[in-house]
Amino acid sequence: MPDLAGIVLAAGEGTRLRPLTELRPKPLCPVGELPLIDHAFNRLADLTDAHAANLFHHAEMLGRYIGDRAHTVVEAPESLGTAGGVANLKPWIDGRDVVVTNADQYLPGGLKGFAEGWDGERCRLLCVPNGKRDFTTDDGVEVGYIGACLLPWSLVKNLTTDITGLYEVLWRDELAAGRLDLFVLPGDTVAIDCGTPADYLAANLHASGGASVIGAGATVLGEVTQSVVWPGAYVGPDEKLFRQIRVGSREQVVTVAA
């Protein structure tokens, strides 16, 4: 197993999840019993115990939650993108190869086996043969990237803190040169990018086996079906929630349809 530095990309603003992300950063939105950031750290633990995260939106709140469990860097005055975010962590990476995962990805299968057989020279991307069509394998199968990659230090060291993405400054050129390593999981792999209310709800329902997810301290007096009720939220006695996300106390109720 290579000596890996593990990074969670957690600086996104989560604009498509508003108004949820006006209350807390997307990495702190719970899926099942855990915030998304904890799911991400748990994935990294399959490969390394050295963890870091980049922060931007609600950075203070997210930093307090992470505490000393990981090295954190706050990006300011703007978020640096996926490539800039990794580059900004180069002093901490300190010559190691890197495993990166997106904070908003729900991957219940984790990353076990992802680094097996990796040559440590090419970028390895975790993909599935359904959903998005981001890349094409050598045998002509179109696959979608699902938010985790292995990056060799030989390439990471050349990244800059300009605001840009890994595809634009790294993967596109590696793909054109035939050096991109696509690690393709089975087509039935569960991989949900929790970028929209519908996908966020789908991740929660998968985590719960299809039942509504009721957070700790929530007050549910009405009927809740295939929905998510955040910790401390309130559902009144005459309410019927179906495929909705409820947040906020009785005085500040917010409901998002999925």
In angstroms, the CA 249 to CA 232 distance is 6
Residues pairing with 23 in the sheet:
none
pLDDT band at 2 (very low <50, low <70, confident <90, very high): low
* Secondary structure E strands in 36-152: 51-55, 71-74, 97-102, 105-106, 124-128, 135-136, 142-151
CA-nearest of 175, 193, 186 to 136 is: 175
| Angle in degrees, CA 155, 158, 142, rounded to 5 | 45
Q: H/E/C letters for each residue in 203-250? A: HHHHHHCCCCEECCCCEECCEEECCEECCCCEECCCCEEECEEEECCC
For residue 15, the 8-state DSSP code is: G
72-100 residue pLDDT tens: 999 989 999 999 999 999 999 999 999 99
* Domains of the chain, start order: 4-192 (3.90.550.10), 211-257 (no CATH)
Locate all alpha helices (DSSP H) within 45-179, ordered by sequence: 59-66, 81-87, 90-93, 153-156, 166, 172-176
In angstroms, the CA 94 to CA 91 distance is 5
Residues 6+ apart with CB under 8 A from 176: none
Residue 258 predicted with pLDDT over 90: no
- Which pTM value belongs to this model? 0.93
Of 6-20, 36-50, 128-142, 172-186, the poorest mean pLDDT is in 128-142
Query: What is the pLDDT of the chain when averaged over all its residues?
Result: 93
Cβ atoms 44, 217 nearer than 8 A: no
CA-nearest of 71, 52, 64, 72 to 28 is: 64
43-60 residue pLDDT tens: 999 999 999 999 999 999
CA-nearest of 146, 148, 143, 169 to 157 is: 169
